[in-house]
Amino acid sequence: MERRAGGELRALSGRRVEGVLLRYSDTATLPDGRRERFEAGSLDPLPGSLPVNVQHDPAMMAGTLAVEGDGEAIRAGGKVSPGAHDLVRRGALGGLSVEFRALREREEAGTRLIERAELLGAGLVDRPAYPLSGVEARAAGGELKGEFPLHREIECKCRSGGTRRWGEVATVAEIETPADTLAYLSDVKRALGRVRARSRRRSVELSVDLDDSLPAVRELLALIAGGAPIRWRPFPDPDESDFETEELRAGEGRMLTRWRRLVVQGWILVPGALAGDAPKADVKEGRGVSARRRLLLAGLA
């Protein structure tokens, strides 16, 4: 039995990991200097699931992964033990590696080409042989999603982070969320996680993975479990954004801020009672965050 390959790994809710077990286009350089590659389709038919261990040690079994492939890559995902999950989350395990039995192979230009093989298992490893391997850990709190509307008047009462007032109402034509932007609970002192944003014609779709080891995340999950409405609010970067402030409608005395381009410093998740000045864009649950699980994660059940 041989053990090779690498993967991109993600830790999700319920101590779950998901990742790429093998890419057929990838070539490994083994410790003895030899090169190795799996030919496309060489691992078909795939088993429905595989046992997974730590560092290819049979005494350190970590769980079972479901397996699927698309002709270019083989992906695996499933729940693992808390210890293995924690090692992935902290970056101590840097790859997902296959355990296999070669059934047919050949050598070409100094590279061992696996033409047909049987998958036997998988290992979470610290130093994968294949260069496309990599780990991204997401912790066990689930995922929250939401939308922020564009081209629409929103009750805002926004301030610039100090005392400067932009206006009671805002319209936003375009939002830019840098890749390292964080989400916060209520203010910018309690970080929840990194935000992913995707622009649509009439809105921006937002999501953030929640790590329930963070006190702010546990507080947010408890609020959601209690039925509190949660809303998204952008915290603008005035130096990078393009905007103007004007009277909303003659005689009303209310000011409107038109954001032609709003660059976000952070996204604030605002719970119910504090949401009076927040845009009305309700957070939606992500997968795996049932009401019962939210209570358990929040320590309330």
pLDDT at 87: 86
d(CA 2, CA 49): 18
Q: Is there a contact between 261 and 242 (Cβ–Cβ < 8 Å)?
A: yes
Region of poorest pLDDT, from 83-87, 119-123, 132-136, 160-164? 160-164
Is the per-residue pLDDT at 15 higher than 90?
Answer: no
pTM: 0.52
pLDDT at 60: 93
pLDDT at 134: 56
Q: Chain-wide mean pLDDT for the chain?
A: 78
Is the per-residue pLDDT at 213 higher than 90?
Answer: no
Is the per-residue pLDDT at 280 higher than 50?
Answer: no
pLDDT at 229: 80
Percent of the chain with pLDDT over 70: 75
Q: What average pLDDT does this structure show over 108-122?
A: 94
Q: Between 209 and 7, where is the model more confident? A: 209
pLDDT in tens, 97-107: 889 999 999 99
Percent of the chain with pLDDT over 90: 26
Q: What sign results for the dihedral spanned by CA atoms 293, 298, 299, 301?
A: negative
d(CA 231, CA 108): 58
SS3 222: helix
Residue 37's pLDDT band, with cuts at 50, 70 and 90, is very high
d(CA 7, CA 4): 10
Is the per-residue pLDDT at 261 higher than 90?
Answer: yes
Region of poorest pLDDT, from 100-114, 163-177, 194-208, 273-287? 273-287
pLDDT at 49: 94
% helix / strand / coil in the chain, to the nearest 5?
Answer: 10, 50, 35
Nearest 10 degrees: Cα torsion 287, 288, 291, 292: 170
Residue with the two structure tokens 């995902």: 77
d(CA 68, CA 46): 7
